[in-house]
Amino acid sequence: MNPTSPSEIRPGLTVRGFTPPLHLHDFKLIAFDMDSTLINIECVDEIADAAGRKAEVAAITEAAMRGEITDYKESLRQRVALLKGVTVAHMQQVYDQRLQLNPGAAELVAACQAAGLKTLLVSGGFTFFTDRIRDRLGLDFTRSNVLDVQDGVLTGRMVDQPWGDICDGAEKRRMLLETCAQLGIEPRQAIAMGDGANDLPMMGAAGLSVAYHAKPAVRAQAMVAIDSGGLDRLLEVVQAD
β-pair partners for 32: 121, 193
* Crossing angle of helices 127-137 and 105-114, rounded to 10°: 60
C-alpha distance from residue 93 to each of 105, 121, 154, 157, 158 (Å): 22, 22, 15, 20, 20
**Whole-number CA gyration radius for the chain:** 17
Distance CA 2, CA 15 (A): 11
Q: Which of 26, 33, 131, 148 is catalytic?
A: 33
Burial class (CB in 10 A: 0-12, 13-18, 19+), 26: middle
**Residue 80: closest CA among 115, 48, 107, 127:** 48
C-beta of residue 202 within 8 angstroms of C-beta of residue 192: yes
Distance CA 172, CA 34 (A): 12
Q: Which of 26, 35, 151, 232 is catalytic?
A: 35
Annotation marks residue 232 as catalytic: no
- State the DSSP string of 171-186: HHHHHHHHHHHHHT--
Annotation marks residue 227 as catalytic: no
C-beta of residue 51 within 8 angstroms of C-beta of residue 82: yes
Residues with catalytic function: 33, 35
